[in-house]
Amino acid sequence: MNWRLTGRYMVSVIIVTIITVFINLFIFMFWLVFQANSQHDEESTPETFTRSFRQYVTLSDNGITVNKEGQKALKEQNAWIQILDENGQDVYHDREPKGLKKKYTPIEIINLHKYKDEQLLSTIYAGGKKVNGKEYSYFIGFKNPSLGKYVLSYDTKEFVTKFNAGTIILLSIDALIALLIGYLFSRQLTKPLGRVIQGIQRLANGDYTIKMKSKGIYKDVFYNVNHLSKQLSSSKKEKDKLEQMREEWISHISHDIKTPLASIQGYAEIIQDPNYHLTVEQIREYAQIIESKSLYMKDVMEDLNLTTRLKNNDVMLHTERVNLVSLLRETLIDMLNDSRYADKSIELQTNVEKLMLNLDAILIRRAVTNLILNALVHNDADVKIVVQLEQKERTHVTIKDNGKGIEEEELEKVFDRYYRGTNTGTTHAGSGLGMAIAKDIIQKHGGDITIQSTAGEGTTIDIQLS
């Protein structure tokens, strides 16, 4: 994997380098052509000045000469002039340097024009003009030490051949350099990527103990991989915890269902057995026990079904305008009318008689009932429960008790599915889903539910509805 990444990166570097070289060559050649054209177009270049100087060469009574405009131009250019006749004899000069010869042979004329004369300390250009049928040649020397002139001779065919060979060599060298640099850089760039890929593979295999150092250009990637590892580790712990609670819940439910089933089966067998001569009162008593155990099993199955539907968002709310005060009062009256809770202290406190909200009355009744039953089950028989209704920015339904309270480490588990508190009485058998169902119902209505508790002082549950 690392070599594959390195190879891809190196190929990319080489391609970019070659393209860059071609672009640079194109730009350089274009610049040379542009410079050549621009120099030809400029009138101030020495070559152009020399060619155009013939306009200043005139014939006077004293012979060939340079007019005043030409002399002024020579002074401005810091240049001198020497005019020769057809025999190479000096016939005119102006601003000439020391050591200037009076007569030149043809080869000397060629060399003087072709090469820079170190003795005269000048760069010399040549021109010519025909006056009265006679050819005159002239030299103009520029006393500019920074000015140079070189004559280049080349064979076009050989130049093209060497240029092509040089281009191939240059590209090959550039490719080798790019290969070396690309390899060195790619090792630095792809090595961290290899670590990231290995880390992701470990995550995919279920290893969530990854912790990479967040540094370098990929520090954000390392940070996010570490963050993902923590999230997955947390999710796994939560999943394991939920699975453990589910297994415990199944174990408890199995036990809780087996007990009433055994009772139902036992009393049914007694009623059915002809060897037992039961009175009508005994039959009714046994039937009542069978009914009670059946209702308990029915409640457990309904809790399981409802929590599954709530978890899967498969419960549709049948909302209507409901007087919450009346709903709470009826819920508490129904509970107190139950013989099991007739002697319990459950009180409703409210300063209003009518508070209309859009609610699913059946589900809200179920949620409040579950919360009150939870307070009854997990506390002593003399516990006092107060249900308060207040209208603030939102509607608050508060359920308070003065019971045993809940330990801090258990407080965050209260609304978990399948959780059964440690304060549950030995005679109580429940599904362990009541608090989770209550929370899901409140949240389904767009509300919030919070719990506060102090061990030995009691518990307060606050429901907020809009």
In a domain, 202, yes or no: no
In a domain, 51, yes or no: yes
Which carries the bigger pLDDT value, residue 258 or residue 289?
289
In a domain, 201, yes or no: no
Which of 255, 275, 306 finishes a domain?
A: 306
Name the token pair of 346.
């459950």
Inform me whether the pLDDT recorded for 93 exceeds 80. yes
Which of 282, 306, 330 finishes a domain?
A: 306
- What's the pLDDT at 1? 46
> Angle 352-340-267 (CA atoms, 0-180°, nearest 5)?
150
Q: Are residues 441 and 297 in the same domain?
A: no
Q: Are residues 119 and 266 in the same domain?
A: no
Q: Are residues 167 and 23 in the same domain?
A: yes
Find, among 199, 207, 198, 197, the residue nearest to 236 by Cα.
207
Expressed as residue numbers, the domain containing 257 is 230-306
Q: How far is it, in rounded angstroms, from Cα 25 to Cα 38?
A: 20
Name the token pair of 112.
């003087």
Q: How far is it, in rounded angstroms, from Cα 326 to Cα 463?
A: 17
Q: pLDDT of 434-453, one tens digit each?
A: 888 889 899 889 999 999 99
Inform me whether the pLDDT recorded for 203 exceeds 70. yes
* Residue 12: partners with Cβ closer than 8 Å, 6 or more residues away: 182
Q: Are residues 461 and 342 in the same domain?
A: yes
- The helix or strand, by DSSP H or E, that contains position 136, with its residue range, turns out to be strand 134-142
CATH of residue 301's domain is 1.10.287.130
In a domain, 14, yes or no: yes
Q: How far is it, in rounded angstroms, from Cα 85 to Cα 96?
A: 17
When pLDDT is cut at 50, 70 and 90, the band that residue 422 belongs to is low
- What's the pLDDT at 56? 92
Q: At what angle do helices 361-377 and 434-444 cross, to 10 degrees?
A: 150
Q: Are residues 342 and 290 in the same domain?
A: no
- What's the pLDDT at 428? 47
Q: Are residues 36 and 129 in the same domain?
A: no
Which carries the bigger pLDDT value, residue 293 or residue 154?
293
- What's the pLDDT at 44? 64
- What's the pLDDT at 13? 66
Inform me whether the pLDDT recorded for 38 exceeds 70. no
Which of 117, 142, 167 finishes a domain?
A: 142
Residue appearing with tokens 């003795």 = 119
Under a CB-based contact definition with an 8 Å cutoff, are residues 255 and 300 in contact? Answer: no
Residue appearing with tokens 């603030």 = 392
Q: Are residues 338 and 459 in the same domain?
A: yes
Name the token pair of 395.
């509607």
Total structural domains in the chain? 4
In a domain, 219, yes or no: no
Q: Are residues 360 and 319 in the same domain?
A: yes
- Helix (H, G, I), strand (E, B), or coil: what is residue 28? helix
When pLDDT is cut at 50, 70 and 90, the band that residue 419 belongs to is low
In a domain, 205, yes or no: no
Q: pLDDT of 208-249, one tens digit each?
A: 787 877 776 667 878 888 888 888 888 888 888 778 767 766
Alpha-carbon distance values, 291 to 69, 203, 207, 267, 369 (Å): 135, 53, 52, 11, 22
Q: pLDDT of 331-371, one tens digit each?
A: 999 988 888 888 899 999 998 889 999 999 989 998 999 89
Q: Are residues 235 and 374 in the same domain?
A: no
Residue appearing with tokens 């809200």 = 364
Q: How far is it, in rounded angstroms, from Cα 325 to Cα 304?
A: 29
Mean of pLDDT over the chain? 81
Q: Are residues 410 and 330 in the same domain?
A: yes
Which carries the bigger pLDDT value, residue 30 or residue 361?
361
- What's the pLDDT at 425? 47
In a domain, 83, yes or no: yes
Q: Are residues 446 and 349 in the same domain?
A: yes
Q: Are residues 297 and 326 in the same domain?
A: no
In a domain, 149, yes or no: no
Under a CB-based contact definition with an 8 Å cutoff, are residues 194 and 218 in contact? Answer: no
Report the range of poorest mean pLDDT among 198-212, 264-278, 284-298, 370-384.
198-212
- What's the pLDDT at 420? 60
